[in-house]
Structure 1
Amino acid sequence: MLELRNLECRNCGLRRINTQIYHLLPYLSHLDLGNNRMQFLAADEFTDLHKLHSLKLDGNQFPVILENTFVHQTQLKYLTLSRNRLAKITNTAFKNLSSIEEIDISFNKLDKLEPLAVQHVSSSLKKFDMSGNNFNLIIIRDIIQTLYKLTDLGIAQMGIKELPEDFLPDRIKVLNISLNNLTELRLEMLPKQLAALDISMNKLRGLDETIILKFQTMNSVS
């Protein structure tokens, strides 16, 4: 059991897991606890898991991510917290995630997220999905500006009615802005390096020729 690298307990009806088991799994690199009934995540929950590369906690019932929750996961690259009941992510929740490349906090109950909370991952994070939360444009803008390595952004289903010019930095290559309330899309709204775009399920009234020409240079448009 000491050599185990992957542990998947998805859809197991778990309400709690005995964290002592992690002491027996020092080489664990992939842990999937998604789609369970877990309601509490202790700050020292993953203390013994120093080699984790991927952690999936989506589809549970966590209301908060406490301070220093992932402080021992310096090798973690992928973290999924979507579809919980998160109303708060503390400012040091992502501290020490120096290798992280992707974080998904989509479809929770968050109405704010301090730039300081994501500042800890600003030098490595490339993909961030915050779709389905209650952030206003100011919060979204501050997060994007803080994550200066970000190239893949999810802001779907956030009630967005318009995108101001220069709101999205040119480094963004993949953008999901589906399920919003956009009525128009102009070329100056889009990042210059954009290669993949999802604008489905909006309220667009039409697209002008410049946007169509832009689409022709991209890899994927929905």
Structure 2
Amino acid sequence: MAQPRITSTLTFDEKLFEEYFAGKDRPLNRRDALIFSIGDGLLFGIWFWAGILFNFNFNLMGWIFGIVVGLALVLGIAEALTGATIFWPRRLWRKTYTRFFVRHGVDSDAPRPWTCTLRSHAGPNQVEMSYLTKDGSFEVLNQSYKKFDRILVTKHLIVLITHFDLGSPFDFWHRDTYANALADREATEDAIFLRGSITGMDNKPLSDEDFIAYVGRKISRH
């Protein structure tokens, strides 16, 4: 006899993907921006110290350097505080969209915007994640709670984020290594639930708060 489970099924479109991706990447963006800001801050500090020594008697290139480094520092601090992901211009994000939606049953030759059908179940001991494939069947992945790292709550979604170790925060200086790690991270599967449309184990609507409390206890125990 099948165990009772908490269930959510949703049609996942590109807008929801952006919401999910931006929320998932926020801690990573903050970390990388903080490291960048520290390095940029040192450069700006050296420039400012030199300006004090020479009464800011810089030539044109010196002023351009100071302005560029200063603006980069402001942007880096803003990114470190917000962790924002900017999806413009969209053509630069085509590979990211394509990898996700093709992996979840979408034909890459189909006209955009794309959508896919995701189904997630939270049971007593594990979470089942599935998506509708091109042949009309569901591809299923089961995962224990110990593999989830945190709970992401956005405007429309509740997501159980699978743990993935990107390594040292300084690895991003090695572009190939970091790019490969990010690609591997994108391939991990997270459990996505639609807020306001979650069905409890008694087949009755379950509030977002009760669901978050339930899975939160499960994740914390592991």
Question: Greater CA radius of gyration, 1 or 2?
Answer: 2
Give the TM-score, by structure 1 length: 0.20
Give the TM-score, by structure 2 length: 0.20
Larger RCO, structures 1/2 (Cα 8 Å, 6+ apart): 2
